């Protein structure tokens, strides 16, 4: 079967009857089996996907198929799908099954998307390499000795390896965009509140957002448009008008693209990526766009601020996993306190325990104001300054990550070095703004490189339409 980058091309062949959804599902199932060594899927819904494919084929025959007919989708193991196992790639949830379906996923199902399975990720979405899963690391399709990025590494790797057409991930500090950059695909994080978080296992509630990982910007726009909107189940979801992200009419002929000199000249940025970014900027200048140099003294404060706040929220969110009501229960506990301690100690992984302890520390008496309170103030300053930037420019451009996908095990013993992998992506989550990562080029190592564009709040339409013009 030929390789499809756009759903529109799949649907063209479906409408012409030269392809069926059953053909697609069988093709992806075969590829999943052939690429088991990458450790991408935790569970494959073989018979269910085949049955759904038959149903969609019948709808196509009748002319009643939804907008996503022919889309074979994988879902990250933090997104609820009723009647299916949900584990957050952890041991703590055991054999727990979802009691309902996440709103974002349900909207895709309503448009005839076919879910083929759930995908490996960093445990509770905590990680930048997908090496923190209780089920082992995911391997990069471009080089199996390298990481995929995290935490949605399985979701990005699945799309890159053509094991499904698109995936649904979550982005707390770059967890959709960074693995998309490492795997050479497209990853979108919408404005905070643009897509409902109902049915997403919480890591840090004021940062988390569901986002698509695709092979094309067009499909990222389509999935975002369908998932967007107010949800009565999520009080943080926005009632802001959605507009059109697909075939969006640009508001301008030329745009102002901001960039931070501190980022382009950052000592951690790989020299080849810097050259590719500068070449990208020059191409935009020649097209008539204006490149605007910005200065952001708070750049060095973003990663510490992000980790103080997210770990604080994580320590609160993960307190519900106590071994009492569902999931793993320590077998040798002799009293309630021991049940709590043993269940969490035995079933949570090292990185999750590290972040819970850090979060508990910054929230503790005597340290709350010094760490958590101060981090909240810095976050507000970052938000305020970022909004001022968007009074000057239309987009802010940056690399996705300082380097290409690194080797498995390379940063496992150095948490600080691992956390710095998120240095260019956490900004969008701290500010609650939309950002899109898409392929930039190839590194001399053979690995893909990525570029990121961030837009003002609820400007997803402009972000997608402009990015489509930048596919060099």
Active-site annotation, residues? 76, 151, 175
Structure tokens at 218: 């067009």
Q: Are 298 and 381 in contact (CB under 8 A)?
A: yes
DSSP per-residue string spanning 385-401: HHHHHTTT-SEEEEESS
Identify any residues that bridge with 74 across adjacent strands, giving them in sequence order: 117, 167
Count of CB atoms situated within 10 Å of the CB of 424: 30
Write the CA distances from 41 to 24, 269, 321, 398, integer angstroms.
17, 32, 24, 31
C-alpha 303: how far from chain center: 18
H or E segment to which residue 168 belongs: strand 166-171
Q: Are 203 and 239 in contact (CB under 8 A)?
A: no
Q: 45-83 burial by CB neighbour count: b if 16+ within 10 A, else e?
A: beebbbebbeebbeebeeeebbbbbbbbbbbbbbbbbee
C-alpha 36: how far from chain center: 22
Identify any residues that bridge with 398 across adjacent strands, giving them in sequence order: 452
């Amino acid at each position: 079967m030929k390789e499809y980058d756009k759903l529109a091309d799949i649907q063209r062949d479906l409408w012409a009857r030269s392809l069926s959804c059953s053909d697609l599902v069988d093709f992806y199932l075969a590829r999943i089996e052939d690429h088991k060594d990458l450790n991408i899927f935790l569970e494959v819904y073989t018979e269910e996907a085949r049955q759904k494919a038959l149903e969609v084929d019948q709808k196509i025959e009748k002319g009643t198929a939804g907008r996503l007919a022919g889309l074979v989708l994988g879902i990250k193991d933090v997104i609820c799908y009723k009647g299916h196992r949900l584990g957050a790639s952890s041991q703590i949830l055991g054999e727990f099954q979802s009691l309902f379906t996440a709103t974002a996923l349900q909207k895709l199902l309503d448009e005839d998307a076919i879910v083929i399975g759930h995908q490996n990720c960093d445990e509770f979405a905590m990680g930048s390499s997908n090496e923190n899963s209780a089920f082992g690391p995911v391997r990069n399709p471009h080089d199996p000795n390298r990481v995929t990025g995290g935490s949605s590494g399985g979701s990005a790797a699945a799309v890159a390896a053509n094991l499904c057409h698109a995936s649904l991930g979550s982005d707390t500090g770059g967890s959709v965009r960074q693995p998309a950059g490492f795997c050479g695909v497209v990853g979108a994080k919408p404005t905070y509140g643009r897509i409902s978080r109902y049915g997403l296992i919480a890591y840090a509630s004021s940062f988390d957002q569901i986002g698509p990982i695709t092979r094309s910007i067009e499909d990222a726009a389509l999935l975002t448009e369908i998932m967007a909107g107010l949800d009565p189940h999520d009080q943080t979801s926005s009632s802001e008008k959605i507009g059109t992200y697909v075939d969006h009419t640009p508001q301008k002929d030329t745009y102002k693209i901001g960039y931070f000199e501190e980022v382009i000249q950052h000592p951690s940025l790989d020299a080849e990526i810097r050259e590719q970014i500068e070449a990208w900027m020059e191409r935009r200048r020649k097209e008539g766009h204006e490149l605007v140099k910005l200065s952001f003294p708070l750049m060095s404060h973003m990663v510490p601020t992000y980790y103080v706040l997210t770990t604080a929220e994580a320590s609160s969110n993960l307190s519900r996993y106590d071994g009492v009501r569902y999931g793993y229960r320590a077998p040798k506990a002799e009293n309630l306190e021991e049940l709590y301690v043993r269940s969490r100690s035995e079933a949570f992984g090292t990185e999750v325990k590290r972040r819970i302890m850090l979060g508990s520390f910054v929230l503790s008496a005597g340290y709350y104001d010094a760490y958590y309170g101060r981090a909240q103030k810095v976050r507000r300053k970052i938000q305020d300054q970022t909004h001022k930037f968007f009074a000057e420019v239309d987009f802010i451009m940056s690399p996705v990550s300082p380097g290409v996908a690194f080797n498995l095990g390379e940063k496992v013993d150095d948490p600080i070095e691992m956390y710095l992998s998120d240095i260019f992506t956490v900004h969008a989550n701290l500010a609650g703004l939309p950002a899109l990562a898409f392929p930039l080029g190839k590194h001399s190592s053979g690995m893909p490189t990525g570029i990121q564009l961030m837009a003002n709040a609820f400007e997803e339409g402009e972000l997608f339409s402009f990015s489509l013009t930048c596919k060099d």
